[in-house]
Structure 1
Amino acid sequence: MPGVSARGLSHEARRQLAVNLTRVVTLYRSILDAYIIEFFTDNLWGTLPCSWQEALDGLNPPQLATLLLGMPGEGEVARYRSVWPLTLLALKSTAYALAFTRTPGFQTPSEFLENPSQSSRLTAPFRKHVRPKKQHEIRRLGELVKKLSDLTGCTQVVDVGSGQGHLSRFMSLGLGLMVKSIEGDQRLVERAQRLDQELLQALQKEEKRNPQVVHTGPRHRPHHVVRWVDPTALCEELLLPLENSPQSEARLLLTGLHACGDLSVALLRHFCRPEVAALASVGCCYMKLSDPGGYPLSQWVAGLPGRELPYRLREGACHALEEYAERLQKAGPGLRTHCYRAALETVIRRARPELRRPGVQGIPRVHELKIEEYVQRGLQRVGLDPHLPLNLAALRAHQAQENRVVAFFSLALLLAPLVETLILLDRLLYLQEQALPFS
């Protein structure tokens, strides 16, 4: 999708972008703040301008993917059935123009073409106990950290929130870096240490079987530390170099894969310290950011009207617009899940008005169920009588609005990258306010 590159913007342009983002988010907050499971209970379709309803009503999922979300389309799919209102076209153009450039690739990575469960770019010992997605992630992030090490001359890495240590093992035993792994959960650290030993033994066996394959680089076992990193305070352990390290190697590289919520913020704060040479962080779970503390970080964004991002907005920013657009293009029956769940919510509210938006454990094979079957199973999931009398005519009427539910959800996803951009831009402005020369 088109967008704006943060790298090419001046400091003033970044500030102005933050201003524009808060204005747009404020203008369309009602869409962003809506819960799709309340589509029927709160009449979300009725909250849209009538002209938007007319333009979107009747569009099938592939048309929504192309005309609204900007995915490639051909023939009838790519044609507007009617003249869209200027306000809806302006929303679409604004969403494209103000979001940071996104270059997703949902095609299967080449490393999984031969075997979808095994990366061809990781040797067998590093793939064990690691799911394909994680194999791809640790390889990509580990290789990036290695490049940063080569550029900065730093060989010491601190992996924060290291979990079971998959990334740490790849960087240390695979790429020859000295790695300190910091994790707050004692049980995960103990498992990581067992997996370290298992991997070392597997590598030794591999070298015996293939003596012609000689491991030439240093092989450092990760150094694990049990420590909870407080996002509001500096962690001295995080900033300490590894034991027996020459003073010339004292500066550190920080990394974190899936640095959840405030952990990403903690990494940024430590990145501003002179002991740290570089940071490679993959953040996630924006909804777990604390406010204040995790967002906003920068003084500039903190001073803007409309900068508030409540839980629902931050949770929506975690969704991948492109992934959903691909689902729309395929028009699979799984798209009806939101409609079914919204219909279930109407039954729950009638039975227990005080019970709102309860979590419903996953109901398998939703696309094969009739709507009343889904509702009965859903009622059981939330502790209500699955044999409650149902208004089948009302449920059928809800099901007939499936495309409207999908259209509203698509509108929210169109806007979600703007929220993510504001969060990331706030972090960038924070680094600039710390007078870091490369921000």
Structure 2
Amino acid sequence: MAGSTGWTEPTTAGHTAAGDAWGRGSGQTPSEFLENPSQSSRLTAPFRKHVRPKKQHEIRRLGELVKKLSDLTGCTQVVDVGSGQGHLSRFMSLGLGLMVKSIEGDQRLVERAQRLDQELLQALEKEEKRNPQVVQTGPRHSPHHVVRWVDPMALCEELLLPLENSPQSGARLLLTGLHACGDLSVALLRHFCCCPEVAALASVGCCYMKLSDPGGYPLSQWVAGLPGYELPYRLREGACHALEEYAERLQKAGPGLRTHCYRAALETVIRHARPELRRPGVQGIPRVHELKIEEYVQRGLQRVGLDPQLPLNLAALRAHQAQENRVVAFFSLALLLAPLVETLILLDRLLYLQEQGFHAELLPIFSPELSPRNLVLVATKRPLGEAFCVLETEDS
């Protein structure tokens, strides 16, 4: 069940080809991108606008799974938690006809999502006028966006409230999150377990290094009973790296491999300047391989709020750079553990649900080449039996 096993590519008929499994580093391209690597052939043009290929693939696959799961469990409303700019919510509501509430803690992202909603509605209306045979069945419902920070350790009343145009009694909710960061994925699990209104769950996790300790891991009694179950920050952070992408970089053996060496050197400068500032997030620095190490460090210092003009020990930085090959070797060995760590975290969540009597599965729905965090945790409060197989199949 490691992060990227079991992915299956659809046949030309649109169904899963039995036994045609994706392994890690397969190097194949999903059929939806064969004609154009930047455009999914399985999404219409309005839903592709402003959406990168990776996200196109993710929202289509997860959206279709949520639609099927919603139909199977009789859910009246989908709640997309950590919805960001709303790409998944828009596809589920305006593309698949679901009633969707989007919850996001960043006001700016919500405002952006609302603007994109209106832009998409206008594009769909124009498309229908140009193409009269496209018939819209029923009224369109844009996602209902809510600015709200979800506390991982407490129930969120807003998350559970039905929409005004949903039945006020007997509401059945489906919770979903596309790469919900850190404790946000754990919050989805807790709401599913504690709230009778929530009938189903489809969660794709990410950012394991941001899990609270304790609280975010372990969740299950079984994993908590294992000797040495602890996962320090370094292991959890490593589990979020893309094994497939780094394997490709190793094969090319290009200058891009020095990124981790530069980042390690930057960390030594940060810890010398501010010992209490450990492992700060550093926004991506473009074209690292074209920079001198001191230039990279100066840009990195600025990104973490430190003075980029701090005096630097150039001899020490050059000595760090001389260790580049050793850093690559160390990082490669550490990355081999990533699937094992991710497996332990995801199985802990699966067991947590099963220990409480719920029905849960881990399903590989994304191509690992595009989306390394490719497993969705699906849970229901009543058994679906063979219906789980339907969730994995591709729509035509």
Whether TM exceeds 0.5 here: the answer is yes
Determine if contact 2:76/2:166 at 8 Å carries over to the other structure. no
Once the 2 structures are TM-superposed, how far is the Cα of residue 307 of structure 1 from its aligned partner? 2.5
Determine if contact 1:259/1:282 at 8 Å carries over to the other structure. yes
1:229-286 CA distances to partner (integer Å, 9 max, x unpaired)?
A: 2211222332233334347972121111121111101111122533222211111111
Determine if contact 1:319/1:416 at 8 Å carries over to the other structure. yes
Determine if contact 1:159/1:255 at 8 Å carries over to the other structure. yes
Secondary structure at 1:157 match in 2: strand
Determine if contact 1:100/1:421 at 8 Å carries over to the other structure. no
Once the 2 structures are TM-superposed, how far is the Cα of residue 103 of structure 1 from its aligned partner? 8.2
Q: Distance in 2 between matches of 1:264 and 1:406?
A: 31
Percent identity, aligned pairs only, is 95
Please identify, of 323-332 and 148-157, the stretch whose mean Cα deviation from structure 2 is larger: 148-157
Once the 2 structures are TM-superposed, how far is the Cα of residue 179 of structure 1 from its aligned partner? 1.2
Q: Distance in 1 between matches of 2:20 and 2:50?
A: 40
Q: Distance in 2 between matches of 1:145 and 1:375?
A: 44
Please identify, of 233-242 and 366-375, the stretch whose mean Cα deviation from structure 2 is larger: 366-375
1:42-70 CA distances to partner (integer Å, 9 max, x unpaired)?
A: xxxxxxxxxxxxxxxxxxxxxxxxxxxxx
**1:408/1:238 Cα in 2 relative to 1: closer, same or farther (>3 Å)?**
same
Please identify, of 386-395 and 405-414, the stretch whose mean Cα deviation from structure 2 is larger: 386-395
Once the 2 structures are TM-superposed, how far is the Cα of residue 390 of structure 1 from its aligned partner? 8.4
* Alignment-derived partner of residue 167 in structure 1: 88
Once the 2 structures are TM-superposed, how far is the Cα of residue 410 of structure 1 from its aligned partner? 1.0
1:55-99 CA distances to partner (integer Å, 9 max, x unpaired)?
A: xxxxxxxxxxxxxxxxxxxxxxxxxxxxxxxxxxxxxx9999999
Determine if contact 1:349/1:355 at 8 Å carries over to the other structure. yes
Q: Distance in 2 between matches of 1:322 and 1:389?
A: 38
Once the 2 structures are TM-superposed, how far is the Cα of residue 170 of structure 1 from its aligned partner? 0.8
Determine if contact 1:95/1:418 at 8 Å carries over to the other structure. no
Please identify, of 272-281 and 389-398, the stretch whose mean Cα deviation from structure 2 is larger: 389-398
Please identify, of 145-154 and 171-180, the stretch whose mean Cα deviation from structure 2 is larger: 145-154
Determine if contact 1:99/1:417 at 8 Å carries over to the other structure. no
Secondary structure at 1:408 match in 2: helix
Secondary structure at 1:256 match in 2: strand
Secondary structure at 1:97 match in 2: strand
Secondary structure at 1:277 match in 2: strand
Q: Distance in 1 between matches of 2:355 and 2:44?
A: 43
The CA RMSD over aligned residues, in Å, is 5.2
**1:294/1:417 Cα in 2 relative to 1: closer, same or farther (>3 Å)?**
same
Once the 2 structures are TM-superposed, how far is the Cα of residue 381 of structure 1 from its aligned partner? 7.4
Secondary structure at 2:17 match in 1: helix
Once the 2 structures are TM-superposed, how far is the Cα of residue 351 of structure 1 from its aligned partner? 8.6
1:350-372 CA distances to partner (integer Å, 9 max, x unpaired)?
A: 89989876776655433234556
**1:150/1:353 Cα in 2 relative to 1: closer, same or farther (>3 Å)?**
closer
* Alignment-derived partner of residue 146 in structure 1: 67
Secondary structure at 2:80 match in 1: strand
1:416 equivalent among 338, 346, 359: 338
Secondary structure at 2:85 match in 1: coil
User: Where is the helix percentage greater, Structure 1 or Structure 2?
Assistant: 1
Determine if contact 1:250/1:275 at 8 Å carries over to the other structure. yes
**1:240/1:410 Cα in 2 relative to 1: closer, same or farther (>3 Å)?**
same
Determine if contact 1:173/1:220 at 8 Å carries over to the other structure. yes
Once the 2 structures are TM-superposed, how far is the Cα of residue 412 of structure 1 from its aligned partner? 0.9
* Alignment-derived partner of residue 279 in structure 1: 201
Q: Distance in 1 between matches of 2:46 and 2:71?
A: 25
1:109-160 CA distances to partner (integer Å, 9 max, x unpaired)?
A: 3323333333222222212222222222111111111121232233421111
Once the 2 structures are TM-superposed, how far is the Cα of residue 414 of structure 1 from its aligned partner? 1.0
1:366-400 CA distances to partner (integer Å, 9 max, x unpaired)?
A: 32345566567768878999999988887666545
Once the 2 structures are TM-superposed, how far is the Cα of residue 169 of structure 1 from its aligned partner? 1.2
Q: Distance in 1 between matches of 2:281 and 2:106?
A: 26
**1:230/1:99 Cα in 2 relative to 1: closer, same or farther (>3 Å)?**
farther
Gap regions ≥5 residues in structure 1:
1-92
Q: Distance in 1 between matches of 2:164 and 2:250?
A: 53
Determine if contact 2:25/2:244 at 8 Å carries over to the other structure. no
1:287-308 CA distances to partner (integer Å, 9 max, x unpaired)?
A: 1111222122123333444222
Determine if contact 1:99/1:421 at 8 Å carries over to the other structure. no
**1:210/1:336 Cα in 2 relative to 1: closer, same or farther (>3 Å)?**
same
Q: Distance in 1 between matches of 2:279 and 2:263?
A: 10
Q: Return the TM-score normalized by structure 1.
A: 0.65
1:360 equivalent among 244, 269, 282: 282
Once the 2 structures are TM-superposed, how far is the Cα of residue 101 of structure 1 from its aligned partner? 8.3
**1:95/1:264 Cα in 2 relative to 1: closer, same or farther (>3 Å)?**
farther
Determine if contact 2:78/2:100 at 8 Å carries over to the other structure. yes
Once the 2 structures are TM-superposed, how far is the Cα of residue 215 of structure 1 from its aligned partner? 2.0
Secondary structure at 1:282 match in 2: strand
Determine if contact 2:293/2:321 at 8 Å carries over to the other structure. yes
1:95 is aligned to 2:17: yes
Q: Distance in 1 between matches of 2:160 and 2:307?
A: 55
Determine if contact 2:76/2:171 at 8 Å carries over to the other structure. no
**1:430/1:213 Cα in 2 relative to 1: closer, same or farther (>3 Å)?**
same
**1:204/1:386 Cα in 2 relative to 1: closer, same or farther (>3 Å)?**
closer
Once the 2 structures are TM-superposed, how far is the Cα of residue 332 of structure 1 from its aligned partner? 1.7
Determine if contact 2:84/2:113 at 8 Å carries over to the other structure. yes
**1:255/1:307 Cα in 2 relative to 1: closer, same or farther (>3 Å)?**
same
Please identify, of 344-353 and 205-214, the stretch whose mean Cα deviation from structure 2 is larger: 344-353
Once the 2 structures are TM-superposed, how far is the Cα of residue 423 of structure 1 from its aligned partner? 1.4
